[in-house]
A and B are shown apart, each in its own frame.
Chain A
Amino acid sequence: MSILLNKNTNILIQGITGSEGSFHAEQMIEYGSKVVCGVTPGKGGQTATENKLPVFNSIHDAKKEFKIDATVIFVPPRFAAQAIIEAIEESIELIVCISEGIPTRDMVTVKNMLDKSSSTLIGPNCPGLITAEESKIGITPGFICKKGSVGILSRSGTLTYEAIDQVVNVGLGITTAVGIGGDPVIGSSMIDILKHFKDDDDTKGIVMIGEIGGNMENDAARWVKENLNKPVVSFIAGQTAPKGKRMGHAGAIISEGSETAEAKIKILKECGISVANTVSEIGITMKSLIG
């Protein structure tokens, strides 16, 4: 079992003819993902990648020939919101947006549409998700993953990889790892992903990686306390970050007291979550709980 994604998920790639899109299409296929086709407006009828995947002008056209369960978006930020909207309008179940730098205003519009739809959006500005030894959508390096019992969710890309690597190295392995993205407005919150992990019998423990900015970790901590009966290990990046400075991610900026790493760690602990002292201790902390 896994969440959101498995080896049978039919995947479409928006922006497949771009350099990122075609490179990662190859990487995904190599990992075992069932990539069936791509979309680039104006390039319908062509083929892309060495696997000669068909390219369509729109998702609408692609759906006439393929059953599409998920789409992944590799398009420039100024067009990315429109690409997400197209996927929502075509009722694609799972939408993953890798693009970084989408204007917040565009994402507010997307989020309002999303809330009225049946689609799930992961990202933007995220590495995507991977179900170990089955399928990946996005840019997570596949070779670091081994099947196991830990679910991972994170606001940061390379910290997701770091967590996967540590959890695999202590011998636990992962079910699914989800990078939810570092922007102020994202499709799926920590709670949204935790709900999926709660229902997944194979997921015995959860690693939840947050950072400064916003209150998502605090909301998630309270939700865990009320609703979740599985051990959670957390890590919050940015304990040394100065106030008012945007630390790389658009979402990683402290504007209220509750948004500091210190405040979040306090709330997480109060809600019964084990917080790793340093980034090096994520794996061993999980091992001590479910090893």
Chain B
Amino acid sequence: MKIHEYQAKEILKKFNVPIQEGYAIDNSKDIDSTIKKVQADFNSEAVVVKAQIHAGGRGKGGGVKYCPTFEDAQDAANTILGMNLITHQTGPEGKMVNKILITEALDIEEEYYFAITFDRSKNSDVFIVSKEGGVDIEEVAENSPEKIIKSWIDDSPNALEDAVKEIISSLSLEKFENVEQMFKDLYRCYIESDCSLLEINPLVSTTNEEIIALDAKVDIDSNSLFRHPEIAAYHDKSEEDPLELQAAEYGLNYIKLDGNVGCMVNGAGLAMATMDIVKHCGGEPANFLDVGGAANVETIKNGFKIILSDKNVKSILINIFGGIVRCDRVANGVIQAVKELELDVIVVVRLQGTNAKLAKKILDESDIELISAETINEAATKAVEMIK
């Protein structure tokens, strides 16, 4: 689960990590009072206004503004709150800014990149740091990979101690007194909050000789939310695609894509493979949709509803491998759903597995317009050809 910068900073603060302080607001009526409060509480005439959206590249897109005076801050806050922010991560359609964070401005000396994530290949957490902070780290990795330092934390007794020493030395931060403790606190925050990513870009040193997290990007392992109710409450539904949200409420796993062949499949791997074969046959998949292990009338009906909410969809390819689920039941479910929803798109059905032959007979003999197919290839070809 993704969370906002201001939420990530709230978590960091609980672990004693020094952060750039500020207040988040979602109502333009609060702009003036919040700027004054930031100026007073943190003794800083200049403030920074930062758009809170779940995407990087906010600065380049005009979503982060340094404001030397109260009036500048007013202007910036009124512009950014409610703007449609387009960055390289939002896609061309951009994202509506519903919240802004107004923070103190700091006198920055150096900017560093810092992240902790999990390295699958080593079954270890890894610190990733660079002296090239405050910029797009992917660009640094691409152009000058030698400037990125990785230090792994395995389960040996001194692993954390050693890794922290290594990153302090590679960033030349020895002169800062509390930096060792801060990196340990960051790691503790990462572990205890079940983060899948904790990224501080930039981590800065100030002219007051302090090290401070200027930004924070934290992704939480969704599977762990049962033990973090306070983090679960950070979930911002307005950041998500409404169709994907609705699908999740139905217990379906749906991701919208740009094509016109809707796909309804059981199992994530088979769902991806089905999208791939649609493309291979010359079509474009409209979505990823995994209806899960127990495909029944209800899940299929809900699947149709979600797919059809996307007006680009011209045909729907249903590909179910009935293992424990019996295909004849799925076939009856498809027929019932098509009747109830009065579909007017082409539906191609391929059912394989338990009672597949019976299922095909049921589909072929039904009085509704369905195209049945035996192999995935045949099904995909039909779903693509019929709409050309």
Instruction: Give A residues with C-beta under 8 Å from B.
Output: 27, 77-78, 101-105, 108, 111-112, 115, 127, 139-141, 143-144, 154-159, 161-162, 165, 182, 184-185, 209, 211-212, 214-216, 219, 235, 237-242, 245, 247-252, 261, 277-281
Contacts and interface: CB of A to CB of B under 8 A. Distances in A.
Contact of A141 (B155, B273, B324): B324
Contacts of A240: 257, 272, 275-276, 278-279, 285
Nearest to A115: B123
A112 B266 contact: no
A147 to B, nearest CB: 19
B268 A248 contact: yes
Contact of B121 (A182, A215, A239): A215
Given A143-B354, A144-B353, A211 B272 contact: yes
B253 interface: yes
Interface in B268-298: 268-280, 285, 288, 290, 293
B123 A111 contact: yes
Given A104-B196, A248-B288, A277 B280 contact: yes
Contacts of B324: 27, 139, 141
A159 B191 contact: no
A151 B224 CA distance: 35
Contact of A139 (B321, B323, B354, B375): B323
Contacts of B226: 78
A161 B268 contact: no
Contacts of A112: 123, 155
Contacts of A127: 323
Interface string B95-138: 00000000000000000000000101101010000000000000
Given A103-B221, A185-B120, A159 B269 contact: yes
Contacts of A238: 272, 276
B223 A158 contact: no
Contacts of A78: 226-227
Interface of B: 118, 120-121, 123, 125, 155, 191, 194, 196, 221, 223-224, 226-227, 253, 255, 257, 265-280, 285, 288, 290, 293, 321-324, 352-354, 375-377
Nearest to B268: A248
Nearest to A105: B194
Contacts of A214: 120-121
A219 B120 CA distance: 12
A241 B272 CA distance: 7
B364 to A, nearest CB: 21
Contacts of B278: 240
B267 A104 contact: no
Nearest to A239: B276
B293 to A, nearest CB: 8
A220 B227 CA distance: 35
A279 B120 contact: no
A165 B272 contact: no
A165 B270 CA distance: 13
A239 B275 CA distance: 8
Nearest to A109: B155
Contacts of B274: 279
Contacts of B323: 127, 139-141, 144, 157-158, 161
Given A105-B191, A159-B270, A248-B271, A280 B377 contact: yes
Contact of A103 (B194, B321, B377): B194
Nearest to A76: B226
Closest 9 CB pairs of A and B: A156-B269, A248-B268, A158-B267, A141-B323, A280-B377, A279-B273, A103-B224, A159-B269, A237-B272
A141 B285 CA distance: 28
6 contacts: A105-B224, A139-B293, A156-B269, A237-B270, A237-B276, A238-B276
A78 B224 CA distance: 8
A279 B267 contact: no
A212 B272 contact: yes
A108 B269 contact: no
Contact of A158 (B123, B194, B266, B377): B266
A211 B277 contact: no
B276 A279 contact: yes
Contact of B255 (A156, A211, A247, A281): A247
Contacts of B196: 104
B268 A105 contact: no
Contacts of B118: 104, 108, 184-185
Given A103-B221, A248-B268, 6 more contacts: A78-B227, A104-B223, A111-B123, A139-B323, A162-B273, A247-B255
B142 to A, nearest CB: 9
B258 to A, nearest CB: 9
Given A139-B324, A141-B324, A215 B120 contact: yes
A182 B268 contact: yes
Contact of B288 (A111, A115, A209, A241): A241
B375 A280 contact: yes
A157 B321 CA distance: 10
A289 B322 CA distance: 28
A223 B221 CA distance: 31
Nearest to B267: A158
B377 to A, nearest CB: 4
Given A103-B221, A240-B285, A248-B253, A184 B120 contact: yes
A215 B223 CA distance: 22
B184 to A, nearest CB: 17
Contacts of B321: 158, 161-162, 165
Nearest to A103: B224
Nearest to A184: B120
Q: Which of B273, B274, B353 has the most CB of A within 10 A?
A: B273
Nearest to A277: B280
